[in-house]
Amino acid sequence: MNKILGLLSTGFLTLTLFLGFALTVPSVSMAADGDPAAAASEDGAKKTVKKTVKKKKKTAQTKEAEEDADEEKTASGTKKVTKKTKKSATASSETDTEDAGKTKSNKTAKGGKKVKPADDADAEDTEAADASAKTETPEDAEKEDAEKTETPDKVSEKADSDPETGSVEKADASPLTEEGSEAGEIRKITIDGIEYAFCWCPAGSFEMGAPEEELGYSEIEKQHTVKLSKGFWMLQTEVTQEMYESLTGSNPSYFSAKGFGKEKGKVAGREETAKFPVDRVSYRDALAFCEKISEICSVKFTLPTEAQWEYACRAGTKGAFYTEKAPSVQQANYKTGTNMPESTEEVGTHGQNPWNLQDMMGNVSEWCRDYFDPDYYAASPASDPTGPSEAENGERVLRGGSFANMAYYLRSAARNQLIEGAKGNRFDGFRFITVPGGEAAPEADADDTEDADADDEEKADDAEDADTDDEEKADDAEDADADDEEKADDAEDADADDEEKADDVEDADADADEEE
């Protein structure tokens, strides 16, 4: 039975294979024999399939090859970068070694031109900067300051907004609460261990401004007589860096041992600059300092008015300078044809004026309390002027000139100005005053008084006219009331007439009835 089943199975398999071959091969042969185009198409299709397969294989191989190449390239690039980094580090190390020892010249990759090492270039830049500094103008220096926006400006801002130290004890300034006995008398007080000397400037009159024939005269300096009704004590020197720092906790100065100008002029090589004038202070910084020292001393300190400053500077003299002629470099720190100072200097090293005030010419320009108005002198009060009430650009007066100015700006009458909030200017400082018993109220100008009287008269006339108008209105109201009463009477009379007419009609009707 098993044999029979095996034979049947073998036969069935054989038949299946035969029928499959017969159905497949003849159809291809028939298509080839019967239709050459079809055969060609069949062969083309087979070739296309083969090409496609080959192309796919080739593409795959190419892609693999490219990926391998990219990997090799990346690895190679990494190696190059590593080598370059190592090379750079080596070069840097070599450069440091050369800088520590002798500097050598190198050649560029292009053209073989020599390039100076950094040290030589810096040396040349320093020499050029020094040469420029010797002939720089205040405008050039201000431009240089504007480009440097680091610590000093920020320190100055701190001084402007928050002059707190928290460690300065109250000081006795009672000697300054009484008037001095003679012009130039010196009295001293001590604050936080630092001595402050003041010179007495008595009340008096002087010619403020300059005559037209004075060399350097400007129309804004029109000469006029001014009376100061009260004397005052003025700080003998400009406010120093140690004074400013002791009260505010900061030193914004450009010309200080730690400032940007530490290598210039008289500052170079110094470990401390305590006695140099403070610079880089705005008008607001100066005013904040005055408020702080007033609080400590319980005495009112403030900046001088422009009139007080010029009066003190002249100290009874009438020429362009209190030295009669242009000062020598021993009498003032300023610029001449042969003297080109690069910095401020210690206060009190250039003599003094007849009232013992020092550095009223040069070193740093000094802030005054007044707003600046070029035409103010023409309308200035004759007594105790305090300047205009405002300025178009918020500019305040500066006096005395600085180390960077020529003699023209050092004249007693010379006026300058700067916006009150301006910071970062190495040419500006200040000194302050106190008036025993308080300052005098500015005397009103005669023209202003006449105008005020005229205004009062006009106001009185207006008030009188208003009263007249009120009376007229009252009369009109009374007349209106009378008219209303008259109209009421007329209405009442009309009503009476109507009643009378009604009575007449009623009587007529009664008569008619009676006749009937």
- Could you list the beta-strand ranges (E) of 345-449: 365-371, 395-399, 416-419, 428-429, 433-434
**For 213, phi and psi rounded to 5 degrees?**
-80, -5
- Could you list the beta-strand ranges (E) of 202-314: 204-208, 224-228, 232-235
Q: Which tokens is 166 given?
A: 């928290």
Query: Is residue 323 one of the residues assigned to a domain?
Result: yes
Positive or negative, the Cα torsion across 476, 480, 485, 491?
positive
Residue 134: count of CB within 10 angstroms of its CB: 11
**For 204, phi and psi rounded to 5 degrees?**
170, -175
Q: Which tokens is 66 given?
A: 């490219």
Do the beta carbons of residue 185 and residue 213 sit within 8 Å? no
pLDDT at 490: 72
Query: Is residue 38 one of the residues assigned to a domain?
Result: no
Do the beta carbons of residue 222 and residue 202 sit within 8 Å? no
Domain holding 368, by residue range, is 141-446
- Using CA atoms, how far residue 3 sits from 6, 9, 13, in Å, is 5, 10, 15
Query: Is residue 277 one of the residues assigned to a domain?
Result: yes
* pTM of the full structure: 0.59
**In b/e form, how buried is each residue of 235-269, taking b as 16+ CB within 10 angstroms?**
bbbbbbbbbbbbbbbbbbbbbbbebbbbebbbbee
Do the beta carbons of residue 170 and residue 298 sit within 8 Å? yes
Residue 459: count of CB within 10 angstroms of its CB: 10
Q: What angle do CA 190, 194, 196 make, to 5 degrees?
A: 60
Ordered DSSP codes for 182-194 = STT-EEEEEETTE
**For 403, phi and psi rounded to 5 degrees?**
-60, -25
- Could you list the beta-strand ranges (E) of 229-347: 232-235
Contacts with 410 (C-beta within 8 Å, 6 or more apart), sequence order: 321, 326, 327, 332, 334, 361, 362, 400, 401
pLDDT at 440: 75
Q: Which tokens is 458 given?
A: 């006009």
Q: Which tokens is 195 given?
A: 């001595």
Query: Is residue 212 one of the residues assigned to a domain?
Result: yes
Specify the long-range contacts of residues 210-216, CB closer than 8 Å, at least 24 apart.
Answer: 210/320, 210/411, 210/412, 210/413, 214/320, 214/411, 214/413, 215/320, 216/320, 216/407, 216/408, 216/411, 216/414
Residue 288: count of CB within 10 angstroms of its CB: 19
Positive or negative, the Cα torsion across 306, 308, 311, 314?
negative
Q: Which tokens is 146 given?
A: 């504007």
Query: Is residue 105 one of the residues assigned to a domain?
Result: no
Nearest to 225 by CA among 430, 54, 62, 377: 377
pLDDT at 100: 34
**For 433, phi and psi rounded to 5 degrees?**
-135, 170
Query: Is residue 436 one of the residues assigned to a domain?
Result: yes
Distance of CA 241 to the CA centre of its chain: 23
Contacts with 355 (C-beta within 8 Å, 6 or more apart), sequence order: 183, 184, 199, 200, 201, 312, 315, 316
Do the beta carbons of residue 368 and residue 397 sit within 8 Å? yes
DSSP state of 265: G
Euclidean distance between CA atoms 256 and 268, whole angstroms: 9
Task: Quote the number of domains for the chain.
Answer: 1
Residue 168: count of CB within 10 angstroms of its CB: 18
CATH number of the domain encompassing residue 342: 3.90.1580.10
Query: Is residue 368 one of the residues assigned to a domain?
Result: yes
**For 35, phi and psi rounded to 5 degrees?**
-145, 95
The alpha helices in 366-445, defined as continuous H runs, are 376-379
Query: Is residue 86 one of the residues assigned to a domain?
Result: no
Q: Which tokens is 351 given?
A: 């003599």
pLDDT tens for each residue of the chain, 516 residues long: 555 555 555 555 555 554 544 444 333 333 333 343 333 444 444 444 344 444 444 454 544 444 444 444 444 443 333 333 333 433 333 333 333 333 333 333 333 333 233 333 333 333 333 333 333 445 455 445 544 434 433 433 343 434 444 568 999 999 999 999 999 999 999 999 999 999 999 999 999 999 999 999 999 999 999 999 999 999 999 999 999 999 999 999 999 999 999 999 999 999 999 999 999 999 999 999 999 999 999 999 999 999 999 999 999 999 999 999 999 999 999 999 899 999 999 999 999 999 999 999 999 999 999 999 999 999 999 999 999 999 988 999 999 999 999 999 999 999 999 999 988 789 999 999 999 998 876 554 444 445 555 665 666 667 666 666 666 766 676 666 666 667 766 766 666 666 666 666 566 666 666 665
